[in-house]
Copies of this chain bind each other. A is one copy, B any other.
Amino acid sequence: MRTQMQACLAGRGGEVSARARAAELGRTYLGLDSTGRRNFLTVLARDFDVDRAVVDKAVDAFHRAVDPASRGDAERALRAALEPGRMRLLTQFNGLPEGIKFLVDMRAQLLEWARDDSLMSALEADMKTLLRNWFDVGFLELRRITWDSPASLLEKLIAYEAVHEIRGWQDLKDRLDSDRRCFAFFHPRMPDEPLIFVEVALVTGMSDNVQTLLDEAAPVQDPQTADTAIFYSISNAQKGLAGISFGNFLIKRVVDDLTAEFPKLKHFATLSPIPGFRRWLDGELAKGEGVVTNGESARIADLFADPDVLPPESGATLAAVLDRPDWQRDEATVKVVKPILMRLCATYLIDAKAGKRARDPVAHFHLSNGARMERLNWLGDTSDKGLRQSAGLMINYRYKLGDIEANHESYTGDGKINVSSYVKAHQKSTG
């Protein structure tokens, strides 16, 4: 295998032959089991790294270069020396019939193994460089996906949808109806594979509940009268492109397209999950440090008929309520916990940080794209997943065209969380 790799890199028999050999090597890789593939990648990472002797020599030359021109040459030479040999082989794999998909999938595999293996990690970094270059957004094609799209493509939407599971072909058909839109980015050499896709509902007023939005029995609306486009699902489709971001460009392009098609559209917003809320909340409640006020705690306690089963700590009480099956259907429970959860969720979204970033990953994505937290929606997602992740809450992030740049700047620059007064108001103590 190593010999074959060397032959490719030596360009023996010419570049055409080297590509042919790389293609053969690629087919070999595809025929291997997991252990074989790991060996293959290990050889590639270890034996075709930068040549340290060459680098050291280039660094020496760099130090000796003094006049501007020779320093420029020395820099370029050093840069070249620092490019591992395996980069060339990775590039050659592009000669496979579906070469670029091959590389994307190879990186998906590497990402898994890179967690605890520095060789894999270095190779993965090289692949990311290569793929980031090749998947420059300038090469991507925005395509609308409709019910007239190939079944083989639609099937992939069902598989890749990561936010609100598509429950079958009828659900999918509804999501492609005349009052819905679906757009995806494609790479010209992977024309059958979406890279990322977004699902949009054209509605009147800002949607507050995803089950209503996805109700198969709901009547189709006239999209020409809609004033709001709701981006209710954005899914990355290729694990191997993790860390190479297209979502911001996708939202911008889709807003442009929709504006051209529907001049009456005035508002662009998401209906988004808050995937980290319960995890954060459970952590806070476990600490028992008073994230729930005494007054709140007392009101929650009243929900328990038998004081003997009352959990000893305040936090645990709320947790216990949320553990009850169908708690959200019980009127008395809701009356008590709704203001408390709304307050806590607003606090999580606004104050919980990871460094300067919002802690919630979906919040971070939209804030860094220039959106604003617009409205919290009580029981916006009552699916099992929705209850489990965010106690059923959802949020609208709003993209106001004139504010996007400033919002982006203040968030990425100063870590400012842009938030409406409406959301902010939930933070006030409920007593």
| Residues on A facing B (Cβ under 8 Å) | 12-17, 19, 49-50, 52, 55, 59, 62-63, 68-69, 71-72, 75-76, 78-79, 82-83, 91, 94-96, 99-100, 118, 122, 125, 133-134, 136-139, 147-154, 169, 173, 188-189, 245, 248-249, 252, 368-370, 404-406, 408-409, 412
Query: CB distance A149 to B147 under 8 Å?
Result: no
Cα A369 to Cα B100 in complex, Å, equals 26
Cα A14 to Cα B137 in complex, Å, equals 14
Given A16-B249, A150-B148 in contact, is the A79-B79 Cβ separation under 8 Å? Answer: yes
Chain B, Cβ-Cβ closest to A168: B169
* B residues in contact with A409, CB < 8 Å: 12-14
Query: CB distance B72 to A82 under 8 Å?
Result: no
Given A69-B118, A75-B82, A408-B17 in contact, is the A151-B169 Cβ separation under 8 Å? Answer: yes
Given A134-B133, A189-B188 in contact, is the A16-B151 Cβ separation under 8 Å? Answer: no
Q: Is the interface of A mostly helix, strand, loop or mixed?
A: helix
Q: A13-B409, A14-B248 are in contact. List 10 more A-B contacts (CB 8 A).
A: A17-B404, A17-B408, A19-B249, A49-B72, A59-B59, A72-B122, A75-B82, A78-B82, A139-B189, A148-B151
A196 to chain B minimum Cβ distance, whole angstroms, is 14
| Top 7 A-B residue pairs of the complex, sorted by shortest distance between their CB atoms | A94-B138, A188-B188, A13-B405, A79-B82, A14-B408, A148-B150, A151-B151
Residue among A16, A55, A63, A369 with max Cβ neighbours from chain B (10 Å): A16
A101 to chain B minimum Cβ distance, whole angstroms, is 11
Residue contacts A-B, CB under 8 angstroms, 13 given? A13-B404, A13-B409, A15-B245, A16-B248, A59-B63, A69-B118, A75-B82, A82-B82, A138-B189, A147-B150, A148-B152, A151-B173, A169-B169
Cα A79 to Cα B118 in complex, Å, equals 18
Task: Give which listed residue, B76, B82, B147, B368, contacts A14 with CB less than 8 A.
Answer: B368
Query: CB distance A136 to B94 under 8 Å?
Result: yes
Cα A14 to Cα B368 in complex, Å, equals 8
* B residues in contact with A19, CB < 8 Å: 137, 249
Query: CB distance A139 to B14 under 8 Å?
Result: no
Chain B, Cβ-Cβ closest to A97: B138
Query: CB distance A139 to B75 under 8 Å?
Result: no
